[in-house]
């Protein structure tokens, strides 16, 4: 019987590999093989049973094929953040608990056979091209806790069986064309519900209105959702209405497809209002003449430009990290009297505009009043941005004491600086996209992260909020953000230039002419990287978890000063609370991330411990060239970190003799604490920084 199950699973994974187009995945084959004992990339097993396949962000194409249903023990399937096309097959593993296919190119309808996946706890199919109605398949899926169908083209009402999802705490179905009411959801135990930008109507159930995290904007709900003593006034739509961030995006190119297009700015919904703005009115036409600002005192330049300009955002750093741009008029105000009127997403010609968010008036959120109707005109669009604390209050002027400056770049200028994003300008790849070297006319060097299509579907307003948050992550060992671009469905981040060299390159000797890192250099790199993570965890409010710490994000300049990249970007790769962090190099992930998707600052501590183990041994976290018992670095090294004789044997041969046994023992002790299986037993980064700083100081004193 065991042979039958094993043979079926091998047949299933061979078929999947063939359907995906036989991609370059170490040890995978389309015929036979032993996935469990031959170290197939992304495959985890219990005994000889395949229990997990995680290949998120592995640049996969092809299709899913028709052999998935033959897996007999598969618990987790994560193929998110790839370019897989075709449809979701009817045959799926009945044992599956976690099912992630988000950010691919899947089309067609949701299969009715989802009803057979009775063990499901998390499912993310967001950011694809799925169409049709959500099937009535949830009656037996009572353990499903996290569900994400957002950013597709789903239509029709919510099926009645969704009312049986008694464990469902998170549901994301925003950015579809789903209609009907939300009544079927009202008795579910939600902690997180997002239904924005659909066609839902009728009154919103009171139970849902009381949820702490309920997003519902962009639906033609009955006006009973807005408590007011006055009858609601249906506003007259503007020909061009800023998105919910209060920013005016550039005009998007037209698309044509037999599949209904996803709505970003073509189908615009008024916030908490009745009805849908017609498509012709929703298309921005403002290019000439320019927009007028309040009192016509200053005019904003054209919507599209080749120039480079600065926007200075005056925002608080720690107490108000969650920034919200609110285009809604304040109580008693109309759009003409808004205090600030510079749309951040507009690109302009070398003219500086200052957005001072300190001057936004305080407002009372406890009382909700319908805003004043907007007059129908094309020459004036005024936005009213504000900075709120986590409780949603606008901070007082006294609390806003720091200024953060970011620059807005046009896509044309970035193309010029990068030779049209040529292959020769690519510095490195990241899980979010390619990083390009940019040379400005004055000779200044920058690096441009061009976020790939699977991660660039974030709306402009959300992207700009992310830009502000990242710009606040200032630390000597964190790569600093210089600017951004958000034109023509493109999302790019502009950083200061550090180096083409990463810790991964140094440890793998990518540059044959470079010398191996000395012991002192490795100790210094570990210390500076730890300080960067400590700042994210303790110096930011709310704390920031990197979620992808590995040698490839540790940038090293010519003097080996560390700059950590990709800080604050985790939300781009994870569009759902149910999404595992899922990077190809999952060997750096903490066990709880790999097993359940649970992420905390202690997850970063584990990843840091794995990197320290690489610094100590010079080995990769997984290397199939070693004997089977030594292939998984953490598994092999854990039991030896308390034995000084074993430690001296596992040390990278290139640094043997450069450090004392006492220093090795202390270094190994830090590693052993960081890679504890249970997160509560790992130290905070502040403690790791203290230990490493003490070691660096001892080395400095010894060299005097």
The pLDDT value recorded for residue 401 is: 31
Report the alpha-carbon distance of residue 437 to residue 451 in Å, rounded.
14
Q: Is 205 helix (H, G, I), strand (E, B) or coil?
A: coil
Residue-wise pLDDT for 28-68, tens only, equals: 988 888 888 888 999 998 878 899 999 988 889 999 999 99
Residue-wise pLDDT for 296-348, tens only, equals: 333 333 333 334 343 334 333 333 333 333 333 333 333 333 333 333 333 33
Q: Which long-range contacts (CB under 8 A, 24 or more apart) does 250-256 make?
A: 250/303, 250/304, 250/345, 250/346, 250/347, 250/486, 250/487, 250/488, 251/283, 251/284, 251/285, 251/287, 251/303, 251/304, 252/488, 252/489, 253/488, 253/489
521: Cβ contacts below 8 Å, ≥ 6 apart: 560
Fold designation for 2-225: 3.80.10
Going by C-alpha positions, the residue among 450, 402, 454 that lies closest to residue 423 is: 450
Going by C-alpha positions, the residue among 173, 168, 172 that lies closest to residue 190 is: 168
Report the alpha-carbon distance of residue 202 to residue 181 in Å, rounded.
6
The pLDDT value recorded for residue 68 is: 94
The pLDDT value recorded for residue 49 is: 87
Report the alpha-carbon distance of residue 684 to residue 704 in Å, rounded.
31
Could you list the mean pLDDT of each consecutive 10-residue stretch along the chain, which spans 704 residues?
A: 62 92 89 86 87 90 93 93 94 94 95 95 95 96 95 95 95 95 95 93 91 89 48 41 36 36 36 35 37 35 37 37 36 35 35 36 36 32 29 31 66 87 87 89 90 71 86 89 86 89 83 78 93 92 89 89 90 49 60 83 94 93 86 88 89 89 92 91 92 85 61
CATH number of the domain located at residue range(s) 288-366+374-497 in this protein? 3.30.200.20
- The domain over range 504-703 is classified in CATH as 1.20.120.610: no
Matching CATH topology for 2-225 and 504-703? no
User: 128 preceded by cis ω (within 30°)?
Assistant: no
Whether the CB-CB separation of 590 and 493 falls below 8 Å is answered with no
Token look-up 């996803």 returns: 262
Report the alpha-carbon distance of residue 449 to residue 426 in Å, rounded.
10
Q: Is 695 helix (H, G, I), strand (E, B) or coil?
A: helix
CB-CB neighbours of 168 under 10 Å = 24
598-623 b/e with 16+ CB inside 10 Å = b? Answer: ebbbbbbbbbbbbbbbbbbbbbbbbe
Whether the CB-CB separation of 65 and 89 falls below 8 Å is answered with yes
Please return the burial class of 78, using the count of CB atoms within 10 Å of its CB with bins 0-12, 13-18 and 19+. Answer: buried
| Neighbouring-strand partners of residue 180 | 200
The pLDDT value recorded for residue 630 is: 85
Q: What is the largest CA-CA distance in the chain?
A: 81
Residue ranges covered by each domain of the chain: 2-225, 288-366+374-497, 504-703
């Amino acid at each position: 019987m065991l042979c039958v199950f094993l043979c079926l699973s091998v047949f299933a994974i061979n078929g999947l590999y063939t359907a995906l187009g036989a991609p370059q995945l170490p040890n995978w084959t389309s015929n036979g093989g032993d996935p469990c004992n031959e170290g197939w990339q992304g495959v985890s097993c219990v005994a000889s049973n395949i229990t997990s396949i995680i290949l998120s962000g592995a640049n996969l194409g092809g299709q899913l094929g028709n052999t998935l249903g033959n897996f007999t023990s598969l618990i987790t399937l994560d193929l998110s953040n790839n370019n897989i096309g075709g449809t979701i097959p009817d045959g799926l593993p009945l044992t599956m608990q976690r099912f992630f296919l988000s950010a691919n190119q899947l089309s067609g309808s949701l299969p009715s056979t989802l009803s057979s996946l009775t063990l499901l706890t998390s499912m993310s199919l967001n950011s694809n091209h799925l169409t049709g109605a959500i099937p009535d398949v949830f009656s037996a899926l009572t353990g499903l806790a996290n569900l994400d169908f957002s950013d597709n083209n789903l239509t029709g009402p919510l099926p009645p069986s969704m009312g049986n999802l008694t464990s469902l705490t998170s549901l994301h179905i925003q950015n579809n064309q789903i209609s009907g009411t939300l009544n079927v959801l009202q008795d579910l135990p939600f902690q997180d519900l997002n239904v924005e930008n659909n066609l839902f109507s009728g009154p919103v159930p009171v139970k849902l209105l009381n949820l702490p995290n309920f997003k519902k904007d962009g639906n033609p709900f009955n006006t009973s959702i807005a408590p007011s003593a006055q009858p609601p006034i249906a506003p007259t739509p503007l020909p061009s209405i800023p998105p919910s961030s209060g920013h005016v995006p550039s005009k998007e190119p037209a698309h044509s497809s037999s599949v209904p297009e996803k709505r970003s700015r073509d189908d615009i919904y008024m916030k908490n209002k009745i009805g849908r703005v017609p498509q012709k009115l929703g298309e921005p036409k403002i290019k000439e003449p320019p927009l007028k600002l309040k009192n016509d005192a200053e005019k904003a330049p054209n919507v599209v430009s080749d120039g480079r300009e600065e926007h200075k955002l005056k925002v608080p750093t720690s107490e108000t990290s969650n920034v919200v741009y609110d285009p809604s008029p304040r109580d008693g105000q109309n759009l003409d009297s808004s205090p600030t009127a510079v749309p951040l997403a507009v690109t302009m010609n070398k003219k500086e505009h200052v957005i001072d968010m300190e001057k936004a008036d305080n407002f009372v959120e406890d009382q909700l009043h319908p805003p004043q109707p907007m007059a129908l005109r094309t020459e004036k669009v005024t936005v009213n941005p504000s900075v709120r604390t986590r409780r949603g209050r606008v901070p007082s002027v006294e609390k806003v004491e720091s200024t953060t400056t970011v620059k807005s770049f046009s896509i044309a200028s970035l193309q010029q600086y990068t030779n049209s994003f040529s292959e020769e300008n690519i510095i490195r790849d990241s899980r979010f996209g390619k990083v390009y070297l940019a040379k400005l006319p004055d000779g200044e060097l920058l690096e441009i992260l061009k976020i790939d299509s699977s991660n660039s579907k974030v709306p402009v307003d959300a992207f700009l909020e992310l830009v502000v948050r990242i710009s606040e992550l200032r630390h000597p060992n964190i790569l600093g953000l210089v600017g951004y671009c958000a034109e023509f469905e493109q999302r790019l981040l502009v950083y200061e230039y550090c180096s083409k060299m990463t810790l991964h390159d140094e440890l793998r000797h990518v540059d044959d002419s470079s010398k191996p890192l000395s012991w002192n250099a490795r100790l210094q790199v570990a210390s500076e990287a730890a300080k960067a993570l400590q700042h994210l965890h303790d110096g930011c409010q709310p704390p920031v978890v990197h979620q992808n710490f590995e040698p490839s994000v540790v940038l090293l300049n010519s003097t080996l000063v560390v700059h950590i990249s990709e800080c604050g970007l985790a939300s781009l790769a994870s569009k759902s609370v149910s999404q595992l962090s899922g990077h190809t190099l999952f060997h750096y992930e903490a066990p709880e991330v790999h097993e359940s998707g649970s992420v905390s600052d202690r997850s970063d501590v584990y990843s840091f411990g794995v990197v320290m183990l690489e610094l100590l041994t010079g080995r990769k976290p997984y290397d199939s060239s070693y004997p089977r018992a030594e292939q998984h670095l953490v598994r092999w090294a854990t039991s030896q970190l308390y034995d000084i004789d074993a430690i001296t044997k596992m040390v990278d041969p290139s640094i043997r003799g450069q450090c004392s046994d006492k220093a090795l023992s202390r270094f190994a002790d830090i590693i052993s604490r960081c890679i504890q299986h249970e997160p509560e037993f790992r130290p905070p980064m502040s403690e790791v920084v203290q230990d490493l700083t003490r070691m660096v100081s001892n080395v400095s004193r010894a060299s005097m």
